[in-house]
């Protein structure tokens, strides 16, 4: 059994949208809808004092979705973890549309849930280019 995880860093974002809870909720809605994910409850949000941003967590039947925004740096970090494989979201295009990102860097990870090797060595996850 394998799963998919994406660690995303977006730069050149619109600082106003990064500090706007409505914009972050729209980001989560787009990801959940377009990747056909299944929330298991309401998202949890925390807004930091100015000039800080927003942290959000959405628990999913597939695992989780998180975002951390940094308006003062015009950037955000996003993590999408699915315990089943699926096609990657159009991160570049959609983050440009939703938060104005001009530079998006995606690290895709293929997660393998097989039993650990007998010798218990630490094995790094395979990185998948997206």
Locate the domains of the chain by residue range. Answer: 2-128
pLDDT tens per residue across span 2-31: 888 999 999 999 999 999 999 999 999 999
Catalytic residue IDs? 63, 68, 83
Residue 1's pLDDT band, with cuts at 50, 70 and 90, is: low
User: How are beta strands 63-70 and 75-82 bridged, if at all?
Assistant: antiparallel
- List phi, psi (to 5°) of 94: -70, -40
Pick 2-128's CATH classification: 3.40.50.10800, 3.60.90.10, 3.40.50.1450, 3.30.420.40: 3.60.90.10
Contacts of 74 (CB under 8 A, 6+ apart): 11, 12, 13, 14, 15, 18
Strands (E), 1-130: 2-11, 44-47, 54-59, 63-70, 75-82, 103-112, 126-128
pLDDT tens per residue across span 24-50: 999 999 999 999 999 999 999 999 998
Rounded CA gap, 128 and 22, in Å? 32
- Higher-pLDDT residue of 1 and 122 is 1
């Amino acid at each position: 059994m394998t799963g998919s995880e994406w660690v995303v860093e977006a730069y050149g974002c619109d600082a106003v949208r990064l500090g706007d809870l409505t914009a972050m909720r729209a980001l989560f809605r787009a990801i959940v809808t377009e990747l056909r994910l299944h929330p298991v409850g309401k998202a949890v949000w925390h807004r930091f004092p100015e000039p800080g941003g927003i942290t959000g967590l959405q628990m999913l039947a597939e695992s989780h979705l998180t975002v951390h925004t940094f308006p003062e740096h015009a950037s955000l970090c996003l993590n999408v973890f699915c315990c089943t494989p699926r096609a990657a979201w159009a991160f570049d295009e959609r983050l440009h549309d939703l938060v104005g990102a001009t530079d998006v860097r995606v690290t895709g990870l293929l997660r393998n849930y097989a039993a650990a090797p007998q010798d218990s060595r630490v094995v790094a996850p395979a990185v998948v280019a997206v």
